Structure 1
């Protein structure tokens, strides 16, 4: 005897998802419908289109505010008007993924370890002198590498082994490894700097009464915008005027957004913006360097 197919319309007295007793059309615990049926192809299509149109509408509304109304999207969220927009974390992650994908495809050199042939000799230098200079440079480099390995060995034998393995690679292998590690670890390092970015805002606006979560929200929106602008900058290759406009808007966007969200005069906002950028760029560079170094050595 064959097993009977699932009924197309089945009302249940207990939720099939969480097991709670139900008395209406939806479970009061998890929200699943109590009227279960196998959806038809038409219903699948209707659900897909409804979801896509809803997401698309949210996306365009979010992009409109994010691009042309600095800080307004953050204010909308802070003031409780959220359902009409894409979530801040999703915006940030989407634009960061697009940026790093374009950056990787652009073929930009991240680390340059020099050519395998060493430093080219001066045209006027004799061949013997050039070879002696190259040998001396190689000796100095070997000494630096040994010092690095010894220093890392005092911290951890595993780090010393990683340095030994990396320095044993050829110049091309080092460059390829550095690129791979950069694109693997840098997005995580930058994302982990978002809490620091929010902390800097918290310190710069002490006494404003704003909670840390509001600063973190602003950090996601402003850094998501930066990734979007940098992505458009790469796509505008050869369009110098467009690139200039994008960079100019990127520079003036953040202080404009800060004034809209936090208030304050232009001078104080400009001073806070300068301090914020100095702190953020410094810690960002350190975080990326540390992430790449750990990726190379472990």
Structure 2
């Protein structure tokens, strides 16, 4: 029996016409599945269902989602993240094997410098990884980006938000003066200064936030050759709260705030996080943009 599947043109171009037609005809597609976005059950025989292709450097994994949650699309992820996705999808979709598609290896864009991971903290999640930015100004040291997730009210509406704060100054290539140019670099990329936390910043074309299988995987930026590449990637995907994920899915976007090192810190509660952001805004030390969801 044919499924109510949507296979987008970009997914079709990745998996090929024959495989796309087999999916639409009922092959390789489960009757029941766990939505890769909202994590609730779905039925491809009874409700419109999106095909979502997670693409790594060498392999690709096909997942399914309610069409009301996300459209059919291709989501780039690292090969390491794909391993976790395969495990989660295989556990959730027991009616049919998880299709994988062989791919030609892709050389990833070089990161700025290697960075060590840090432990997770509240209010929702916090992690560190390599920013795709120039090296920090201090010789021999690598900047680590701290990422804190929390809900930030814009008026009466809670917005799923990320607060990005490096552990040290970040400078342009060749700058050895120790001057922190982190916010300047982000403004060059299109982020805008924040003067009022209650106002939702404009969306930034080409940037997005990848949340898959209920976890935060990456912040993506436009790639020079087209498409997207990782600006920040979690060493291990970060669990986010149901409220954070619900807000992100409802609005289809995440607000990313960025501040200089030492400006906000790791706040244990969302009310304290907002207070710290308000202090940083008063000092003119916050830039932001709304980033659409990639994948979920």
* Same fold? TM cut 0.5: no
Higher strand fraction: Structure 1 or Structure 2? 2
Who wins on radius of gyration, i.e. which is larger?
1
Higher share in helix? 1
Structure 2 length normalisation: TM-score?
0.21
More contact order relative to length (CA 8 Å, sep ≥ 6): 1
